[in-house]
Amino acid sequence: MNVIELKNLTKTYGKARGITNISFNVEEGEIFGFIGPNGAGKSTTIRTMLSLIYPTSGSAMIFGKDSVKYGPEIKKEIGYLPSEVFYYDNMKVKELLKYSASFYKKDCSKRITQLAEMLDLDLNKRIDDLSFGNKKKVGIVQGLLHEPKLIILDEPTSGLDPLMQQKFFELLKEENKKGTTILFSSHILSEVQKLCDRVAIIKEGELVNVEKISTLKENNHKRFKLESQTQVPHDYFKIKGVQNLEVNNHITSFLYSGNINMILQKLAQLELYNLWIEEPDLEEIFMHYYEKEN
Amino acid sequence: MNMFLHELKAYRKSTIIWAFSLVAILVLFMSMFPGLTRDAADFKKLLEGYPEGVRKAFGISLESITSLLGFYSYVFAYILLCGSIQAMNLGISILSKESREKTADFLLTKPVKRNQVVTAKLSAALTSLIITNGIYLAAAVIIAMAVSTKPFDIQTFTLISLTAFWVECMFLALGVLVSAVVTRIKSVLPLSLSTVFGFYVLNMFGAVIGEKAIRYLTPFKYYDTAYIIKHSSYETSYIIIEIIVIAGAIAASYMIYAKKDIHAV
């Protein structure tokens, strides 16, 4: 079953920004990554799904129901953590969480204590006295306290220290084991790589690709770095499959995907001092998605 | 209900401050009243010295200024002004506050309809106004009884005092409409002050030139104290206009807010 179904979702603001024809599905029980550089349209897509903003055309179905028409009903089962959390300052953490819980018709007090303990959050502090990271924790507890079936996270890790990030990821994995679907938006690939099963890549408001993380890794990219006797001419490696070519005096580096014999023949014709061939990380594979087309 | 209580709690402090400020202003003015009645003739002579235009602009009527109701209705103009600022402030804040303090994301991702949000906030604002006016009215009656040597008509006194609430309702509705229409309101007070003073100046202007049509344009003129003192009632036509204006503004606010995009900050 698809928990999220986006069909040609389009939102235009005036002329420039917005999203165009975004379509993808997220299946039940999946941890789905949503990745793209800042300003690519991740938040716009998410906000449309939550009917904070309304689509210009196309639709977003959550739990099989239209997100605009059945907004309040759908939101009973959604936990949302915005990228920037700001809460009513004049409240204590406990009061805010109780207020948040009061919107759901279930008793969440046990869950609140449990989550707060796990994240090391002091419930009796006033929210305006909290640091950014601690405010973020309030956001996490707020998003999870009603045990939603779908968790939507918009750049959730900023402001959390590595240890807390680790705990947070464990928490998400635990929720996922219980069957919760998670949509995780981020511009940091390593996070997504660690956590997600599949990933949608968005760039300048358009969906570039939806792929399994494992496929992306298998995509047989190799990172080449070589030190040559003389500087390699710029157009020497202008062959199919070469990306991110950098020539820096005697050091040349690039990414290559394709027939390995082709590139080895090319290399054989050069006088080399040294050669490195490495497995690239996802970050590098994605870079070409990120870079703006000229 | 949870949203209503939350909002009400948020307004608690400001409601109390407004109520006591209004009472304080009234005490200040009304404490002059006993002295004024003692030297009524001199006082009238002093006022006669002012140009007629000035007297009209400030709503001073020579015949009634030395009676309790007459003096009170003169003083009351300032209470009305302050109350209107409070109402306009509340109205503009209720919806814009969420996007300014970036809590709109919190509230609108909860399982609630936008209409429910508006209703809860509007009821809380209205409750705050009712409490303010309740405290004010009680205090005003006590003060009036304390300073007046002669008996006065309590019913008329109450009718005059209550006009503050009716005028405030109009400003509240207007404020809500503004906050529903305008995407980003950086600060509320300058906006509400300028709007309310704008109407107030229009009201003074209307009084000076004696143009009847201006009465319809400014809420300050909907309840003419001279008429109330004379008839012990309000003018029906203005009550009807008020109801239409409020209903229109509120209905529009609901519709606009339900369709509005809540942008990230």
Indicate the domain borders of chain A. 2-217, 220-293
User: What is the CATH class of A2-217?
Assistant: alpha beta
pLDDT tens by residue, A108-149? 889 999 999 999 999 999 988 888 888 899 999 999 999 999
Q: Is B111 on the interface with A (CB under 8 A)?
A: yes
**Chain B interface disruption, residue of A88, A92, A185, most B CBs within 10 A:** A88
Task: List beta partners, residue A9.
Answer: A22
pLDDT surpasses 70 at A220: no
Sheet of A206-212, strands arranged across: A78-81, A150-154, A181-186, A31-35, A198-203, A206-212
Burial class (CB in 10 A: 0-12, 13-18, 19+), A74: buried
Please give, rounded to a whole number of angstroms, the shortest distance from the CA of B168 to a CA of chain A: 27
Average model confidence (pLDDT) for chain A?
86
Q: Of chain A residues 69-98, which have a CB less than 8 A from chain B?
A: 71-76, 78, 80, 82-84, 86-90
**Chain B interface disruption, residue of A38, A73, A78, A99, most B CBs within 10 A:** A99
Judge: B264–A47 Cβ closer than 8 Å, yes or no: yes
Would you put residue B122 in left (φ > 0), alpha (ψ -120 to 50) or beta? Answer: alpha
Q: Of chain A residues 50-69, which have a CB less than 8 A from chain B?
A: 50, 52-54
Place of tokens 């404490």: B31
CA distance A170 to A156: 14
Res B116: pLDDT? 93
Sheet of A65-66, strands arranged across: A18-27, A2-12, A57-62, A65-66
**Chain A interface disruption, residue of B1, B11, B101, B110, most A CBs within 10 A:** B110
Q: Of chain A residues 105-144, which have a CB less than 8 A from chain B?
A: 142
Q: What pTM did the predictor assign? A: 0.82
Residue in chain A lying closest to B13 (CA):
A90
Give B-chain residues touching A71 at CB under 8 angstroms: 113
Q: Is B151 on the interface with A (CB under 8 A)?
A: no
Query: Count of A–B CB contacts within 8 Å?
Result: 59
CATH superfamily of A220-293: Alpha-L RNA-binding motif (3.30.70.1560)
Query: Around Cβ B134, how many Cβ atoms within 10 Å?
Result: 12
Considering CB atoms only, which of A54, A72, A99 is closest to B6? Answer: A99
Give B-chain residues touching A88 at CB under 8 angstroms: 10, 101, 103
Please give, rounded to a whole number of angstroms, the shortest distance from the CA of A216 to a CA of chain B: 31
Please give, rounded to a whole number of angstroms, the shortest distance from the CA of B114 to a CA of chain A: 9
pLDDT tens by residue, A36-86? 887 888 889 999 999 999 999 999 999 999 999 998 999 999 999 988 777
Task: List beta partners, residue A183.
Answer: A32, A152
Q: Is B12 on the interface with A (CB under 8 A)?
A: no
- The percentage of chain A sitting over the pLDDT mark of 90, rounded to a whole number, equals 40
Please give, rounded to a whole number of angstroms, the shortest distance from the CA of B260 to a CA of chain A: 7
Tell how far CA A258 is from the center of its chain. Answer: 28
Type of residue at B139 = A
Res A292: pLDDT? 47
Q: Of chain A residues 181-240, which have a CB less than 8 A from chain B?
A: none
Burial class (CB in 10 A: 0-12, 13-18, 19+), A194: middle
pLDDT tens by residue, B203-246? 888 877 777 777 788 888 888 888 888 888 888 888 999 999 99
Res A294: pLDDT? 39
Judge: A89–B113 Cβ closer than 8 Å, yes or no: no
Q: Taking residues A191-206, what's their average pLDDT?
A: 86
**Confidence label for B36 from pLDDT (cuts 50, 70 and 90):** confident
Confirm if B257 and B120 have CB atoms less than 8 A apart: no
**Chain A interface disruption, residue of B1, B109, B260, most A CBs within 10 A:** B109
Residue in chain A lying closest to B108 (CA):
A52
Res B182: pLDDT? 85
Range B224-228, long-range pairs (CB < 8 A, 24+ positions) = B225/B59, B225/B73, B225/B76, B225/B160, B225/B163, B226/B61, B226/B64, B226/B73, B228/B73, B228/B156, B228/B159, B228/B160, B228/B163
Res A284: pLDDT? 67
Considering CB atoms only, which of B2, B102, B263 is closest to A103? Answer: B2
